[in-house]
């Protein structure tokens, strides 16, 4: 248990490091539910399996397989959401291509995990920014190219009783790119944010590691992988003692 907590503290430090890089972003406003400074009395929960959300429970994996072995659990376990709908903030933008791509990606993924858009970044689980990813490469992020990037942070949600070990994600997606690219990148990065923290080796999957001429839609293998991830234990979403 102590070792588990030391890991929690370690991630909190990683979070603080990313905070200092993001001073220009409004996401870390005072009213956030998210506490990045655990107390010494906080004890990280033991890893447990959450019930599957109904939408994933209904999904019947077919014989196309998955790429679960490519997915890396973090120290806290798999990046699994356990409270639904997942709250997504989309930065307002007059770049209609960008907004359309992000909204379409949200619509595609919400078939498998319920998503809802919220109008304040501080109350969101996932914030999507219409900007170039901030410079800096450290733990807790998974980028493909510098035009799109996803990072996670682990902290404590003290808005609940008891408080929960929580995570949240930020996606940066640069707007000055073709509609085709934006579409594929929004779908891909949102897949990371929903828990697919790794890449497929097949170009027919949305989470393929590289850009391709004809980007894939969300494939059966993507969803098979997502479902397997959500069947794994995690410390995230469980009560801090």
In this complex, which beta carbon is closest to Zn ion, that of residue 144 or of residue 151? Answer: 144
Q: Could you say which residues in the range 129-188 bind Zn ion, by CB under 5 A?
A: 144
CB 199 to Zn ion: min, Å:
6
Closest Cα to residue 128, out of 168, 88, 87?
A: 88
CB 120 to Zn ion: min, Å:
27
CB 31 to Zn ion: min, Å:
31
Shortest-Cβ-distance residue relative to Zn ion: 144
Can you read off the two tokens belonging to residue 222?
Answer: 């993507």
Most distant CA atoms of the chain, gap in Å:
52
Contact 235/47 with Cβ under 8 angstroms?
yes
In this complex, which beta carbon is closest to Zn ion, that of residue 165 or of residue 186? Answer: 186
In this complex, which beta carbon is closest to Zn ion, that of residue 110 or of residue 200? Answer: 200
In this complex, which beta carbon is closest to Zn ion, that of residue 144 or of residue 168? Answer: 144
Q: What angle do CA 229, 224, 103 make, to 5 degrees?
A: 85
Helix (H, G, I), strand (E, B) or coil at 127: strand
What is the Cα–Cα distance from 197 to 75, expressed in whole angstroms?
A: 13
In this complex, which beta carbon is closest to Zn ion, that of residue 80 or of residue 184? Answer: 184
Q: Could you say which residues in the range 103-122 bind Zn ion, by CB under 5 A?
A: none
In this complex, which beta carbon is closest to Zn ion, that of residue 71 or of residue 154? Answer: 71
CB 196 to Zn ion: min, Å:
9
In this complex, which beta carbon is closest to Zn ion, that of residue 86 or of residue 173? Answer: 173
Q: How many residues bind Zn ion (CB under 5 A)?
A: 1
Closest Cα to residue 127, out of 152, 90, 95, 93?
A: 90
Helix (H, G, I), strand (E, B) or coil at 54: helix
Contact 196/229 with Cβ under 8 angstroms?
yes
17-56 footprint of Zn ion as x/- string (CB under 5 A) = ----------------------------------------
CB 42 to Zn ion: min, Å:
31
Contact 98/173 with Cβ under 8 angstroms?
yes
CB 146 to Zn ion: min, Å:
12
CB 87 to Zn ion: min, Å:
22
Closest Cα to residue 41, out of 162, 144, 136, 142?
A: 162
Can you read off the two tokens belonging to residue 213?
Answer: 């001429």
Contacting residues for 90 by C-beta, under 8 A, at least 6 apart: 99, 102, 103, 106, 117, 128
- Residues in contact with Zn ion by CB under 5 A are 144
């Amino acid at each position: 248990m102590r070792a588990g907590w030391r890991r929690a503290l370690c991630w909190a430090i990683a979070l603080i490091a990313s905070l200092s890089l993001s001073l220009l972003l409004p996401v870390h406003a005072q009213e956030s539910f998210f506490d990045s400074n655990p107390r010494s009395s906080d004890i990280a929960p033991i890893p447990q399996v959450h019930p599957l959300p109904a939408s994933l429970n209904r999904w019947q994996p077919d014989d196309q397989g998955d790429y679960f072995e490519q997915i890396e659990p973090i120290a806290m376990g798999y990046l699994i959401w356990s409270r639904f709908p997942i709250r997504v903030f989309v930065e307002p933008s007059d770049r209609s291509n960008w907004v359309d791509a992000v909204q379409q990606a949200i619509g595609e993924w919400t078939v498998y995990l319920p998503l809802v858009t919220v109008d304040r970044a501080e109350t969101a689980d996932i914030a999507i920014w219409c900007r170039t990813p901030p410079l800096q490469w450290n733990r807790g992020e998974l980028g493909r190219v510098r035009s799109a990037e996803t990072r996670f942070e682990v902290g404590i949600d003290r808005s609940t009783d008891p408080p929960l070990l929580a995570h949240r994600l930020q996606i940066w997606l640069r707007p000055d790119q073709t509609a085709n690219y934006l579409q594929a990148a929004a779908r891909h990065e949102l897949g990371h944010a929903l828990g697919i923290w790794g890449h497929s080796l097949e170009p027919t999957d949305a989470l393929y590691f590289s850009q391709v001429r004809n980007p894939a839609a969300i494939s059966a293998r993507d969803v098979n992988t997502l479902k397997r991830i959500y069947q794994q234990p995690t410390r995230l979403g469980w009560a801090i003692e």
